[in-house]
Amino acid sequence: MKTEQQHRDEIVHFGKLLHQNRLVAATDGNLSVRLDRGRILCTPTLMSKGLMQPDDLVIVDEHGKKMSGSREVSSEIAMHLLIYCRRPDVKAVVHAHPPTATGYAAAGIALDRALCSEIIVTLGSVPLASYETPGTPELAEALAPLVAEHDAILMANHGVVTCGTDLLTAYMNMETVEHFAKIALVTHLLGRQQTLSDQHVDKLREIRLKYHNHVTAVSGKD
């Protein structure tokens, strides 16, 4: 079991990585960790995720009400709370605006084609949630139908949200989405996508099932 201080240090560390790896710009993005059943440790609003100190973080309850911290909580906390509510297995959530994946989200294209074996094993597929204004309950509602079966979701004209059983996993899922988006973009540039057959996808889903509690939808065909 990690201490609260260790969780604070981890959020600061992965916030720096988000910024250094250009998955966010300026004050974009937010990260959170579920400390226990009723307490979420979250990044503050209006602050670069590359410049945070452990004391800048805020603790809120499961309804988003601030319990401690001198700064104000991220305006996008509602999507984090929705994921924690619907997914008892999730202990960390990361939201960012990675340029290539967000480009797909802005083009209205989900990253759900069976193009890469590794992606099917790690994420299954990355669906696209409809656009709603950031920070509103409507955005959380748009994500709601997708949360149960996906660890990474594109949000139309906005960005990406990922989750995991710990912060490292949630962060790596964000890197994976952006990397996959770049690969998918190259297939568009080449003018051809050779998707895996249903048989091959089924074998990969079996591998995924061994490592995850749930299997997400993957399309093997056009």
Q: What is the contact surface with Zn ion in residues (CB under 5 A)?
A: 159
The conformation of residue 22, written as its DSSP 8-state character, comes to T
Read off the tokens for 54. Answer: 């452990």
166: left (phi over 0), alpha (psi -120 to 50) or beta: beta
Minimum CB distance to Zn ion smaller for 44 or for 159? 159
- Taking CB positions, which residue lies at the least distance from Zn ion? 159
Minimum CB distance to Zn ion smaller for 38 or for 108? 108
Report the nearest approach of Zn ion to the CB of residue 97 (Å): 6
- Strands (E) located in the chain: 30-36, 39-42, 58-60, 66-68, 92-96, 128-129, 152-155, 159-164
Helices (H), 108-213: 117-122, 137-147, 167-190, 198-211
Minimum CB distance to Zn ion smaller for 106 or for 215? 106
Minimum CB distance to Zn ion smaller for 45 or for 219? 45
Minimum CB distance to Zn ion smaller for 124 or for 159? 159
Report the nearest approach of Zn ion to the CB of residue 76 (Å): 6
Report the nearest approach of Zn ion to the CB of residue 155 (Å): 8
Report the nearest approach of Zn ion to the CB of residue 159 (Å): 5
Does the CA dihedral 197-215-135-24 come out positive or negative? negative
Minimum CB distance to Zn ion smaller for 130 or for 195? 130
Report the nearest approach of Zn ion to the CB of residue 64 (Å): 16
Residue 73 to residue 57: CA distance in whole angstroms: 8
Residue 45 to residue 127: CA distance in whole angstroms: 27
Q: What are phi and psi of 145, to 5 degrees?
A: -70, -15
CA dihedral 169, 185, 29, 131 (to 10 degrees): -110
